Amino acid sequence: MDFTFDEEQRLAAQSLRELLNDHCQGSDLRRAANARDLPSFEAACATRRARLAELGLAGALVPAEQGGLGLGVVDFVLLAEEAGRAALPEPLVDVEGVAHPLLATLGELGESTLQETLVGSALVLSAAPGTTVLANAAFAQYLLLSRRDDELALYRASDISLTHRESVDPLRRLSEVALHDAKPIARVTGATTSSAWQAARARSTVLNAAQLLGLGARMLEIAVAYSLERKQFGKAIGSNQAVKHALADVMVKLEFARPVVYAAAATLAPVRVAHAAVAAAEAADRAARAAIQVHGAMGYSWEVDLQFYAKRAWALAGLNGGRSAQFAAVHQSLLRGELEAQWA
Amino acid sequence: MAIDLQYTPKQHALRAEARAWLEANVPREPLPSYDTAEGFEAHRHWETKLHSDRWSMVTWPQEYGGRGLDLIEWLIFEEEYYRVDAPGRVNQNGVFLFGPILMEYGTPEQKSRFLPRLASGADIWAQVWSEPQAGSDLAALRTTAIRDGDDYVINGHKIWSTRAVYADWGFGLFRTDGASERHRGLSYVVVPLRTPGVTVRGIPQLDGESGFAEIFFENARVPVANRIGDEGRGWSIAMATAGFERGLMLRSPARFQRTAQRLIELYRREELTRREQQTAPIDPGVAATVTQCWMDAEAYALSTYMTASRLIAGGSIGAEASLNKIFWSELDLSMHRAALAILGARAELRGLAGVEGVALAKAADEATRWMDGFLFSLAGPIYAGANEIQRNIIADRVLGMPKG
């Protein structure tokens, strides 16, 4: 029993944080958010994308024998948290945490595509069965999609009907995905396919929870900084207990969601994953709520960068069934008598 | 080492050993409340029993009667302890608060004088800190211990001293420099509670029992040898978490996981009954609270394992103590409120002790346990530093917000 991250895991997160400190500040996000069209959006993100590619995270969760790094979700969870902290517009988590390892399950059928995407000359994303809207699909060359749970199919993005949709988060470029009668490049069916989707959903859920932790922590920092800067009645508003206690409560929520997310990443046990989604969404939501309130009227303005983090949090909180479905999943386990402490 | 949430063979072996011992030795019937004379002695006897096989203070070094276990092993022991609903620890404050202070600051003479008797339950200890005008603002305390030859002469009034009604000794903070103010001029002194000049008066709690007491000192004399650490250094000694885990060990997660488990059992049983009797289902809001409570109890356990792992790896405890306090105290309250909501009209029934096999008596026994737990859970957000103070600590020391 050792519930600590190792040096390598911490250092990887540290280098991503440094990169994002340099290339993913509020001003960088605002530049992308203000882009009028896809090419100018891509131009605003170009430097950061190039730097991210140099980080060597491609294929992080792909088995080593298929050209990946052979890491586990637990090795990626701190990276996802950093991506959240920065409200990173690039789909690092969706690609490395979800799509790449899913593509790897196609084996030889997906081999050439995998090699192409691992070297970065193409981008692959995935949308679990039942998902109709996918972020960043407009930038992808390949899509992993399916009509049902026991089917996994790889398509060229150019063969799929993608319709641009607006997100509340100006940094999430959404596309409505319609399969129509598109022909896949590769396709597998059967029970192992269902479990591949199930695993992809679990990775996506827990890594989004990690992003929510990062987003929540960032919003708390922004709120604290503003409460020190803003003066009313001749003193910083952060010296008032009403403000202090609201932000202390956010910290409590965040710090007790954190071990749940890490344990979910380490075990991938379904109840832990669902719990992580609930706890992280709740903590990030509370952080957004408190941070906006602390900013007063500024919090309701387009001008403060806080909006980028809050909107990302609201968007992510709804994915993979959202908080209510995840909560219901935990509750169903409880009704079935499956919830006990492991020592009980 | 990367995250590994599996127990080692050694940890499994410890669990098995603790489980076997507890199952063989835990009293078959719950002991009477330790806030009665009879119950206090029964609990003292249990402390002695635990000590006879070195289970009374498992994290203490072997030389003092402990097992030298690390924090993860302590968590395992606690899980086994709560699993069998073993008796409450009447010497909790002595074991977890005073013992570690004595080991760090006591002289060899003080250690050999106090530690063995503490460990065996021969002496039960109470904390003597608060005063009528010094609660959250502890540094406002005014009870003096003025040097007179080889003695301190103590005068003043302490209050809210848990277990002091029947305890043998108290450890506390006293003003040894009568002219001093605030944090200066305080010393950490231990006092026998059954000595001339010391009057202990129980204060009935919300549950009707005298779990805490006020203590009046009128020219009570204690030897200077009863001072722990240097004169005038009492504040920093009292506040020192220096290397030991007060914030972690005050309430172990197993306690709340066990309550959550009982709450789930209550909920499932009630749900089944209502379905069979075709009466109105449990309020979905209460059902959601039950689920939330299970999640929070797990979160607290995982958090404690994470902190324990970090401390074992050489880290130190910081703001976790304040975060923990807020989290578990609110969780405990929430669990008991949910239970009372499920019990409905049964919740107010008081136990009919000794009437076995009668349906109403069983219901009353169950209701009493939840109601007593609820009443005690109301104290959680108040004792050991009110939650408002904990929020101030988090804001000031962790978030770096300015003092008001």
Cβ atoms A227, A243 nearer than 8 A: yes
**With an 8 Å Cβ cutoff, is B284 touching chain A?**
no
Given an 8 Å threshold on Cβ–Cβ distance, is B257 in contact with A4?
no
Residue type, B295: M
**With an 8 Å Cβ cutoff, is B193 touching chain A?**
no
Q: What is the DSSP letter of B53?
A: T
**With an 8 Å Cβ cutoff, is B254 touching chain A?**
yes
Given an 8 Å threshold on Cβ–Cβ distance, is B83 in contact with A241?
no
How is B301-333 classified by DSSP, letter by letter?
Answer: HHHHHHHHHHHHTT----THHHHHHHHHHHHHH
Catalytic residue among B73, B78, B80, B245: B245
How is B99-140 classified by DSSP, letter by letter?
Answer: HHHHHHH--HHHHHHHHHHHHHTSS-EEEE--BTTBSSSGGG
Sequence-distant (6+) residues with CB within 8 A of A192 are: A105
pLDDT per position as a tens digit, B297-326: 999 999 999 999 999 999 887 777 889 999
**Residue B363 banded pLDDT, cuts 50, 70, 90:** confident
**Residue B352 banded pLDDT, cuts 50, 70, 90:** low
pLDDT, position B244: 53
First vs last Cα of chain B: how many Å apart?
Answer: 43
pLDDT per position as a tens digit, B133-182: 999 899 999 999 999 999 999 999 999 999 999 999 999 999 999 999 99
E strand map for chain A: 124-126, 133-135, 142-145, 151-156, 161-165, 174-178, 186-189, 231-232, 235-236
Q: Which residues of B168-195 are buried (b: 16+ CB within 10 A; e: fewer)?
A: bbbbbbbbbbeeeeeeebbbbbbbebee
Cβ atoms A282, A223 nearer than 8 A: no
Q: How far apart are CA B115 and CA B112, in angstroms?
A: 6
Sequence-distant (6+) residues with CB within 8 A of B229 are: B105, B187, B188, B237
Distance from CA of A255 to the nearest CA of B (A): 8
pLDDT, position B321: 85
**Of A235, A337, A341, which has the smallest distance from its Cβ to B301's Cβ?**
A341
Rounded to 10 deg, the angle between the A191-229 and A270-294 helix axes is 20
What are the backbone dihedrals phi and psi of residue A11, each rounded to the nearest 5 degrees, phi first? Answer: -65, -40
pLDDT, position A27: 96
Distance from CA of A312 to the nearest CA of B (A): 23
Sequence-distant (6+) residues with CB within 8 A of A180 are: A161
Residue B245 a catalytic site member? yes
**Which residues in A lie closer than 8 A to residue B5 (C-beta atoms)?**
1, 3, 263, 266-267
Cβ atoms A245, B388 nearer than 8 A: yes
Cβ atoms B47, B280 nearer than 8 A: no
| Nearest CA among B124, B149, B14, B130 for reference residue B69 | B14
**With an 8 Å Cβ cutoff, is A206 touching chain B?**
no
Domain ranges of chain B: 9-90, 125-237, 246-398
Q: Which of A2, A81, A228, A271 to mutate to test the interface with B (most CBs of B within 10 A)?
A: A2
Distance from CA of B7 to the nearest CA of A (A): 5
Given an 8 Å threshold on Cβ–Cβ distance, is A341 in contact with B326?
no
- What average pLDDT does range B202-229 have in this prediction? 96
Residues of chain A with pLDDT under 50: none
Cβ atoms B201, B214 nearer than 8 A: yes
Given an 8 Å threshold on Cβ–Cβ distance, is A260 in contact with B298?
yes
- What average pLDDT does range B338-352 have in this prediction? 91
Q: Cα B311 vs. chain centroid, distance in angstroms?
A: 21
pLDDT, position B357: 62
**With an 8 Å Cβ cutoff, is B69 touching chain A?**
no
pLDDT, position B242: 39
**With an 8 Å Cβ cutoff, is B296 touching chain A?**
yes
Strand partners, B151: B148, B223
B245 three-state secondary structure = coil
Distance from CA of B324 to the nearest CA of A (A): 8
Given an 8 Å threshold on Cβ–Cβ distance, is A344 in contact with B257?
yes
Look up the CATH number of domain A193-335: 1.20.140.10
**Which residues in B lie closer than 8 A to residue A77 (C-beta atoms)?**
none
Given an 8 Å threshold on Cβ–Cβ distance, is B297 in contact with A341?
yes
**Of B254, B290, B400, which has the smallest distance from its Cβ to A224's Cβ?**
B400
In sign, the C-alpha dihedral spanning B117, B119, B121, B127 is positive
pLDDT, position B239: 82
Cα B353 to Cα A200, B29, B80, B199, B360, distances in angstroms: 55, 12, 27, 33, 11
Token duo for residue A259: 């071990």
pLDDT, position B356: 59
**Of B79, B313, B401, which has the smallest distance from its Cβ to A244's Cβ?**
B401
First vs last Cα of chain A: how many Å apart?
Answer: 18
**With an 8 Å Cβ cutoff, is A303 touching chain B?**
no
ipTM of the complex: 0.96
Token duo for residue B245: 């885990």
Q: How far apart are CA A219 and CA A11, in angstroms?
A: 23
Question: Which of 21-60 (A) contact B at CB < 8 A?
Answer: none
Sequence-distant (6+) residues with CB within 8 A of A234 are: none
In this complex, how many residue pairs, one in chain A and one in chain B, have their CB atoms less than 8 Å apart?
170
**Residue B1 banded pLDDT, cuts 50, 70, 90:** low
**Which residues in B lie closer than 8 A to residue A224 (C-beta atoms)?**
399-401
Token duo for residue A208: 């989004």
Given an 8 Å threshold on Cβ–Cβ distance, is B401 in contact with A252?
no
3-state helix vs strand vs coil in chain A, percent to 5: 60, 10, 30
pLDDT per position as a tens digit, B390-402: 999 999 999 999 9
Token duo for residue A167: 């997100």
Given an 8 Å threshold on Cβ–Cβ distance, is A262 in contact with B3?
yes
Q: How far apart are CA A212 and CA B376, in angstroms?
A: 35
Domain ranges of chain A: 193-335
Q: How far apart are CA A19 and CA B298, in angstroms?
A: 35
Q: How far apart are CA A21 and CA A39, in angstroms?
A: 24
Given an 8 Å threshold on Cβ–Cβ distance, is B4 in contact with A340?
no
Q: How far apart are CA B39 and CA B36, in angstroms?
A: 5
What are the backbone dihedrals phi and psi of residue A61, each rounded to the nearest 5 degrees, phi first? Answer: -100, 10
Strand partners, A134: A175
pLDDT per position as a tens digit, B189-212: 999 999 999 999 999 999 889 999
**Residue B350 banded pLDDT, cuts 50, 70, 90:** confident
Given an 8 Å threshold on Cβ–Cβ distance, is A255 in contact with B291?
no
Q: Which residues of A60-89 are buried (b: 16+ CB within 10 A; e: fewer)?
A: bbbeeebbbbebbbbbbbbbbbbbbbbbbb
**Which residues in B lie closer than 8 A to residue A329 (C-beta atoms)?**
none
**With an 8 Å Cβ cutoff, is B35 touching chain A?**
no
Cα A135 to Cα A89, A149, B248, distances in angstroms: 10, 21, 43
Query: A340 to chain B: nearest residue by CA?
Result: B261
Q: Which residues of B137-156 are buried (b: 16+ CB within 10 A; e: fewer)?
A: ebeebebbbeeeeebbbbbb
pLDDT per position as a tens digit, B56-70: 999 999 999 899 999
Given an 8 Å threshold on Cβ–Cβ distance, is B2 in contact with A1?
no
pLDDT, position B61: 92
Cβ atoms A291, A148 nearer than 8 A: no
Q: What is the DSSP letter of A4?
A: -
Helices (H), B251-319: 253-276, 284-312
Cα B43 to Cα A193, B98, B364, distances in angstroms: 59, 19, 24
Cβ neighbours, 10 Å, residue B379: 19
pLDDT, position B243: 41
Distance from CA of B327 to the nearest CA of A (A): 7
Given an 8 Å threshold on Cβ–Cβ distance, is B298 in contact with A340?
no
Cα B262 to Cα A328, B30, B258, B274, distances in angstroms: 20, 16, 6, 18
In sign, the C-alpha dihedral spanning B303, B309, B312, B316 is negative
pLDDT, position B384: 86
**With an 8 Å Cβ cutoff, is B294 touching chain A?**
yes
Distance from CA of A120 to the nearest CA of B (A): 29
Cα A186 to Cα A117, A146, A195, B375, distances in angstroms: 15, 11, 18, 63
| Nearest CA among A98, A18, A79 for reference residue A213 | A79
**With an 8 Å Cβ cutoff, is A228 touching chain B?**
yes
Q: How many residues does chain B have?
A: 404
Q: How many residues does chain A have?
A: 344
Q: How far apart are CA A96 and CA A110, in angstroms?
A: 16
**Which residues in B lie closer than 8 A to residue A278 (C-beta atoms)?**
295
Q: Does the domain made of B246-398 have the CATH classification 3.30.930.10?
A: no
User: Which CATH number applies to B125-237: 2.40.110.10, 2.30.110.10, 1.20.120.450, 1.10.340.30?
Assistant: 2.40.110.10
Query: B302 to chain A: nearest residue by CA?
Result: A259
Q: Which of A334, A336, A338 to mutate to test the interface with B (most CBs of B within 10 A)?
A: A334
Q: Which residues of B325-363 are buried (b: 16+ CB within 10 A; e: fewer)?
A: bbbbbbbbbbbbbbbbebbeebbebebeeeeeeeeebeb
Q: How far apart are CA B179 and CA B159, in angstroms?
A: 22
Query: B267 to chain A: nearest residue by CA?
Result: A335
pLDDT per position as a tens digit, B90-103: 999 999 889 989 99
Token duo for residue B100: 């570690």
Q: How far apart are CA B142 and CA B268, in angstroms?
A: 52
- What average pLDDT does range B263-287 have in this prediction? 95
